[in-house]
Amino acid sequence: MDFALWPACVKTHGFDDQLRAAAAGGFDTLPIGPLIWQSLKASGRSAADVVAMANDHGIRLGHYDGFTDWAPERFAADLPEPAKAVFDVSADQCLEVCDALGLEAICATGAFRAGAWPLDALVEGFARFCEKAAAAGVRVDLEFIPMWGIPSLSLAWDIVRQADATNGGILFDTWHFFRGDADLALLDSIPGGVIRTVQLADAHRALRGADLFEDCLRYRLLPGQGDLDLMRVLRSLAAKGGVTSIGPEIFSDYLDGLEASQAGRECATACTTAMRNAGWDSAV
C-alpha cells in the first residue's frame, strides 16, 4: 500500500519543496496535477527530468490529480476560472501525461452541476474513458465531492458499479464523505477492492467560513484534530481491504503557513497515528 502526500497539503510550495515534504514525512508517492506539470514544462524541464527529480528524493509520482473530461461536460460554465484551468484537459492529453510521467492512476471527478446529467450518461462516459485508460495500463479512481456533480458516495458507487470496468474504482475523501451524506451503512456494504484510494482529513463539527467551499479550501484539519468519526471510517475500510493508496489531502491555512518539510512531517504523524489507532496494523 502506498502512502501518498496529496499536493493540497503543501500547495503554497514549489514542486521541489513538495518532494522534500514527501520525503521528510516518509511518503511513497506525490500525486501531480496538470498545472504543476505545465509549469515544469514551461521552465524547460522534460518528463524525464521531473521523474528524476522525484527519484532523487526517493519519491514516485502518484495519481494524475484532477480530471473531468470523462463526463459529458468538462466543467460547469460558472466554475471559478482557477478550477477551469485545472480541468481544461482532454482525455487524450491526460493519458499522454500519464504515459510521459509513468503515472498508474487518475483521480477523476465531475465538475458539472449536480443533477445536470442522467446516470446512464455518466456511466457511459466513465466506462468509455476507463476502456481508453485500461489500454494505457492506467486505473481510474472516481472521487465524489459534495459541492459538484458527483456529490455522494452513493452516486459514485452507482457509476462505478454499472460501468463495471476492471480498472475503475472509487477515491474516498473523508472530508467529502462527512460533509456530504455520510452513509456509513453504504460504506460498509461496498465490496473490498472498489475503494482503492483514500484521502484523509478531519474537520470541525460546524462549518468554518462562508460555505462548503471555504471550509473545504481553508479549514480542513489534520486527522485527530477535529470532530469527524475517522476511526469508524478507517475501521470499515480496513475490514473490507483493497486500499492501495492512502494519505492526507488537507487544504489548510495552518499548513500553508508551515515550511514544506514540517508540513510533510506533521501530516505523516497525524495520519499514521489515526491509522494505527483504527487497527491498521500494516500502517506505514
CATH number of the domain to which 109 belongs: 3.20.20.150
96 in any annotated domain: yes
- pLDDT at position 284 is 57
pLDDT at 282: 56
Strand residues in the chain grouped as ranges (E): 2-3, 29-32, 60-67, 105-108, 139-143, 168-173, 195-200, 245-248
- Start-to-end Cα distance in the chain: 8
pLDDT in tens, the chain (284 residues): 999 999 999 999 999 999 999 999 999 999 999 999 999 999 999 999 999 999 999 999 999 999 999 999 999 999 999 999 999 999 999 999 999 999 999 999 999 999 999 999 999 999 999 999 999 999 999 999 999 999 999 999 999 999 999 999 999 999 999 999 999 999 999 999 999 999 999 999 999 999 999 999 999 999 999 999 999 999 999 999 999 999 999 999 999 999 999 999 999 999 999 999 999 975 55
Q: Is residue 25 part of a domain?
A: yes
> Domain of 105?
2-277
pLDDT for res 281:
73
Q: Give helix 230-240 / helix 260-277 axis angle, nearest 10°.
A: 70
What residues have CB less than 8 Å from 234, skipping those under 6 apart? 274, 275, 278, 279, 280
Please check whether residue 283 lies inside any domain of the structure.
Answer: no
Task: Judge whether 137 lies within some domain.
Answer: yes
Say if CB 157 and CB 128 are below 8 A apart.
no
Q: Judge whether 284 lies within some domain.
A: no
- Alpha carbon distances (Å) from 165 to 6, 120, 159, 170, 271: 25, 15, 10, 12, 30
The structural domain count of the chain equals: 1
User: What local confidence, expressed as pLDDT, does residue 283 receive?
Assistant: 52
Instruction: List phi, psi (to 5°) of 132.
Output: -65, -45
How many contiguous H segments (helices) and E segments (strands) does the chain have?
A: 13, 8
Residue 85 neighbours by CB under 8 Å, 6+ apart: 35
Is residue 282 in some structural domain? no
Whole-structure pTM over 0.85, yes or no? yes
